[in-house]
A and B are shown apart, each in its own frame.
Chain A
Amino acid sequence: MKDDLVNQRVRAPKSQTVRTVEAIQYAKARGETVTLTVDGNPVEVPLGTTVLEAARKLGIRIPTLCYHDDLCLAGVCRVCVVEVVGQRTLQAACSYPITAPIEVRTHSPHVRRARRHIIDLLLSEHYGECYTCNRSVGCELQALAMEYGVDFFRFGRLARPRYEIDASSHSVVRDMNKCVLCRRCIRTCIDLQEVGVLEAIGRGNRTKVSTFLDKPLADVICINCGQCINRCPTGALRANDPTDDVWAAIDDPSKHVVIQTAPSPRAAIGECFGLPPGKALTFELNTALRRCGFDKVFDTNFAADLTIVEEGTELLLRLKRALAEGDKSVALPQFTSCSPGWVKYIEHFYPDYLDHVSSAKSPQQMFGALLKTYYAETNRLDPRDVVTVALMPCSAKKFECNRPEMCASGYKDIDYGLTTRELAKMIREAGVDLPRMPKSEFDDPFGTATGSGVIFGATGGVMEAAIRTVLELVTGTKIEDLYEHADVMPVRGFDGARYAELPIRAVGPVPPLVENLFADWDWLRGATLKVGVCHGTANAMKVMENIKAGGRFSQCHFIEFMACPGGCLGGGGQPTPTNPEIRAARANAIYAEDRSYEVRKAHENPAVVEVYRRFLTGGPCGPKSHKLLHTHYTPRGKYIA
């Protein structure tokens, strides 16, 4: 499967792309190990293991700053220095491969003094305004300074900021005064995401992390995924925070403020309140939001179900044109459009393929369009007074809700996008202790949701939800009979790019929901639905190159793309820190929530059925839903004038 990804393009040099030293793989194959002692404790490790990994194996903590579990090695901050007996100088534990039986001391007086000086030196270049910094308390540099007893600025400090704050982007704010040049954001942007917006510009003490030609972030090819925010150890990168505007709307009695909450932040917000990852606080959050003053609390899952019905119908329409009518001009595979980071990525890097992207809006925007039309009408509200807020795990959603084309209702579909971190701050500001809140339900009329919407948050979730609906619409068989518990396992998991084939053995009658679009399903009998799933734009690039080269993914009918590693649950608005274990715990919480729902298929959601009966009378992909729930894209290209 992985061999099939032709053009496995690796941009970074080999020394940078492998996170751990390559010799480990060889050593494991040969079974070669080496015994070293760390602080007097012997430990046997494969040849080429780094000192940091060996120490972790022993449970010995070595402080790190530029090191990150998701990223390749850099070895630039030197905070992790240790003494290797016999070596003249201290060595960086994160990038020192063990090739001989060495003796390591992790906290000798020499090491402790050096670390304190290194942290002092980092602080001398860091414009620390900890009282007003949004990362205060969660800041890794602050924690290190505390840990190593930095009690005064031995090497001086910056008296005033050196750089202007770049708040041009709707999503990411850059304050380079707080940057300590650990280059995590660079490695995130170039190696992890393959977007390539940030790099170190200049040399020596004039080095600065910046964009191409030092342009504002809004003018470059940034896809707003916010992964750099999640990995920044200090307050240098943060999301563009609209909480003051949201508070102002709440405090204005003439405004009707509604909030929709997405499943991923609900599975992660507990981390901001000291809970371990993987504990969903969905219903506690409802109570907390009402106490904050939101008038109504809705579930984004409703709109996710609606998205699945629209996107699934669009797929069936494309398939019909391609398979039944033999139309060669149909853009297949169809790509998902829920991830705004991915949408901006394809607008920049593969504008020729924009026809493939489903025209369905993302759940957030669909919900907004319905709130300002259907909801306002049925509740006799002036859409002007309805303020729509969305709680999302995502910084790109802030950009999406400010796209000029997202005003189908005549008003801005979504007024403000909040990230998990920002909402946690608001809840704390309201004096609410979230984990101890009593549980309460979502508000009607969009209260009912299905498990299909919940799993949107994990990679493969959109695909699984779409499969549940499409297969059931087409075959007339309950999906539970095809897949145990309706768990479509072939599309789950954390592999970067996945491919699955789903045979359609029998077809059933056309259900009433789409009977005005399709006469019968005979053209699908015996067909095999081929689907792909990928997450992280680096994998998206590989899949796109595969499609360009006519590889296996070009034969697909439907491909899910998510801009962030792990899908939305690893989004750029989620609590820090992040690593593979934390993301897996959040995924477990999401799939557990899916199983707790009685209705697990989007088209069976009674609220969705009701909306089609009362408001979107043309049915899925009908004229009314086309006006409100579908959108178009802008080919942007990657050249900057």
Chain B
Amino acid sequence: MLLTERERLREELIALADQFGRQRSSLMPILQEVERRHFRISEYCMQVIADLLDLHPVEVHSVVSFYSFLDESPRGQFVIRLCRTITCEMAGKDHVARQLENDLGITFGQTTPDGKFTLQWANCLGMCDQGPALLVNDQIFTRVTPERVHGILQECRQTFGVHAVAGAKER
């Protein structure tokens, strides 16, 4: 069972390498695609990708550990990144944070047990004039109030992601 799972993954990665090419520069698109589909980049994935692109596994790990949008351990299908920089702070991001934690039952840095949501801090989303701002996968929400939090989460749960979770839908 485990072996077939790995074989399936290997096939998938070979297809990705065929699609994006096998140069060093193909690493980022492949990693982003794997992250989009599997919500993580596993040890085994990193080694197969390294093999396909003729890199060292540790180099792939280095890249994955560098970018906060690439994860080694499984993240939720929806990653909520709340801006914690000064203007959002002044616009009341703390209330939004409390509301998120209350609604999801987790603290920042954690993932819900059902694997749906991950809460993270972000550093400046570039929406300083419209704070507090948060990002759900790649969609931005501005002027978020504690009242709106419930709606945002509900939308995620119901639509199961119109944005950036195509892979989840396919499955």
Q: Which chain A residues have a beta carbon within 8 Å of chain B's beta carbons? A: 9, 11, 13, 190, 195-203, 211-213, 220, 638-640
Give the CA-CA distance A133 to B46 in the complex, in Å: 36
Contact A199–B61 (Cβ < 8 Å): yes
Contact B58–A196 (Cβ < 8 Å): yes
Closest to B59 in A: A199
Q: Please, which residues of chain B bring their CB within 8 A of the CB of A195?
A: 56
B32 at the interface (CB under 8 A from A): no
Contacts A11-B55, A13-B24; A199 near B47 (Cβ below 8 A): no
Contact B24–A199 (Cβ < 8 Å): no
Q: Please, which residues of chain B bring their CB within 8 A of the CB of A640?
A: 43, 47, 57
Q: What are 26 contact pairs spanning A and B, CB under 8 A?
A: A11-B24, A11-B54, A11-B55, A11-B56, A190-B59, A196-B56, A196-B57, A196-B58, A196-B59, A197-B58, A198-B58, A199-B59, A199-B62, A200-B62, A201-B61, A201-B62, A201-B65, A202-B66, A203-B65, A203-B67, A211-B58, A212-B58, A213-B43, A213-B72, A639-B47, A640-B57
Give the CA-CA distance A211 to B43 in the complex, in Å: 13
Give the CA-CA distance A9 to B55 in the complex, in Å: 11
Task: Contacts A201-B65, A639-B47 known; list 18 others, CB within 8 Å.
Answer: A11-B24, A190-B56, A196-B56, A196-B57, A196-B58, A196-B59, A197-B56, A197-B58, A199-B59, A200-B62, A203-B66, A211-B58, A212-B46, A212-B58, A213-B61, A220-B58, A640-B43, A640-B47
Q: Please, which residues of chain A bring their CB within 8 A of the CB of B56?
A: 11, 190, 195-197, 199
Q: Please, which residues of chain B bring their CB within 8 A of the CB of A196?
A: 55-59
CB distance from B123 to the nearest CB of A (A): 11
Contact B57–A212 (Cβ < 8 Å): yes
Q: Please, which residues of chain A bring their CB within 8 A of the CB of B67?
A: 203
Q: Please, which residues of chain A bring their CB within 8 A of the CB of B72?
A: 213
Contact B54–A9 (Cβ < 8 Å): yes
CB distance from B5 to the nearest CB of A (A): 14
Interface bin, chain B: 10 to 19
Give the CA-CA distance A171 to B57 in the complex, in Å: 22
Q: Please, which residues of chain A bring their CB within 8 A of the CB of B54?
A: 9, 11
Give the CA-CA distance A220 to B58 in the complex, in Å: 10
Give the CA-CA distance A199 to B64 in the complex, in Å: 12
Q: Please, which residues of chain B bring their CB within 8 A of the CB of A202?
A: 65-66
Closest to A9 in B: B54
Closest to A13 in B: B24
Give the CA-CA distance A640 to B50 in the complex, in Å: 12
Q: Please, which residues of chain B bring their CB within 8 A of the CB of A639?
A: 47
Contact A199–B66 (Cβ < 8 Å): no
Most buried by B among A9, A13, A639: A639
Q: Please, which residues of chain B bring their CB within 8 A of the CB of A638?
A: 47, 57
Closest to B62 in A: A199
Give the CA-CA distance A640 to B42 in the complex, in Å: 12
Sorted nearest first, the 3 A-B pairs with minimum C-beta distance are A196-B56, A199-B62, A199-B58
Give the CA-CA distance A640 to B58 in the complex, in Å: 11
CB distance from B126 to the nearest CB of A (A): 19
Give the CA-CA distance A200 to B65 in the complex, in Å: 9
Give the CA-CA distance A203 to B66 in the complex, in Å: 5
Q: Please, which residues of chain A bring their CB within 8 A of the CB of B59?
A: 190, 196, 199
Give the CA-CA distance A224 to B43 in the complex, in Å: 23
Closest to A198 in B: B58
Give the CA-CA distance A424 to B52 in the complex, in Å: 45
Give the CA-CA distance A566 to B117 in the complex, in Å: 55
CB distance from A454 to the nearest CB of B (A): 36
Q: Please, which residues of chain B bring their CB within 8 A of the CB of A9?
A: 54
Give the CA-CA distance A213 to B46 in the complex, in Å: 10
Give the CA-CA distance A13 to B65 in the complex, in Å: 20
Give the CA-CA distance A196 to B54 in the complex, in Å: 11
Give the CA-CA distance A9 to B22 in the complex, in Å: 13
Give the CA-CA distance A190 to B61 in the complex, in Å: 14
CB distance from A630 to the nearest CB of B (A): 33
CB distance from A212 to the nearest CB of B (A): 4
Give the CA-CA distance A13 to B54 in the complex, in Å: 12
